[in-house]
Amino acid sequence: MKTEKYITQKERLPKTGRQIIGCKEDENIIVYQAFNPQIANYTVANQRFGGNAYSFNRMSWIKPGFLWMMYRAGWAAKEQQENILRITVPIIHFKTILQQATFSSFNSEVYATRESWKTALEETAVRLQWDPDHDPYGNKQERKAIQIGMKDEILKLFCTEWIVKIEDITDFVKKEHEKVLASKIEEVNVPYEEVIELNDEAIEQRIGIQ
């Protein structure tokens, strides 16, 4: 996993806007999820989701942004989010997911009417949200970060067929969190991230890239 100092990344990445920021490796993109140890251990051992503890009957959210995942999971300290998984997915499949994404709340910039948005909600199994990104201390940033929720058949495809690799990076997370807690921000390492270019105007319009 390629890393860099947070203070370096902060200066390099855009300060505003809605763009997909994450880690690209060859033709793959990295997304993050947090689970309890039972689900995480099964997933890493089998390199796919499943087992008695995992449910395919609920919406499952993925996040390309490492620090957005850290904010949501409390740096692996929140209950049922004690393990952080780094999931490698081909960009072609990631784009397939985005092609089906519908905003979880009405956005007048994307949908002409509330009725057209509600119709899209009924017809798709993928949700997206743009929320304020956060720094290592959990402070809101002006820049927005994306999270994507999946259910039904596309979730099963993601969980069982589309994943290239699953790694548990909890040890790395806890090590870097100790530096955050010690106010040693200049020493904090984060995964290398960049703006992910989709090169697809239709998808960019659909998900509200700005």
For the chain, the domain total comes to 1
| Three-state secondary structure call for residue 9 | helix
For 59-105, the pLDDT digits (tens) are: 999 999 999 999 999 999 999 999 999 999 999 999 999 999 999 88
> Is the whole model's pTM more than 0.85, yes or no?
yes
64 lies in some domain: yes
49 lies in some domain: yes
What are the respective helix, strand and coil percentages of the chain, to the nearest 5?
A: 35, 30, 35
210 lies in some domain: no
79 lies in some domain: yes
Local confidence band at 19 (pLDDT 50, 70, 90 cut-offs): very high
178 lies in some domain: yes
Local confidence band at 32 (pLDDT 50, 70, 90 cut-offs): very high
16 lies in some domain: yes
Residues 6+ apart with CB under 8 A from 36: 53, 80, 81, 82, 83
102 lies in some domain: yes
How many angstroms separate the Cα of 201 from the Cα of each of 29, 43, 110? Answer: 19, 34, 13
Q: Is the pLDDT of residue 191 over 80?
A: yes
Domain extent at residue 54 = 3-196
CA R_g for the chain: 17
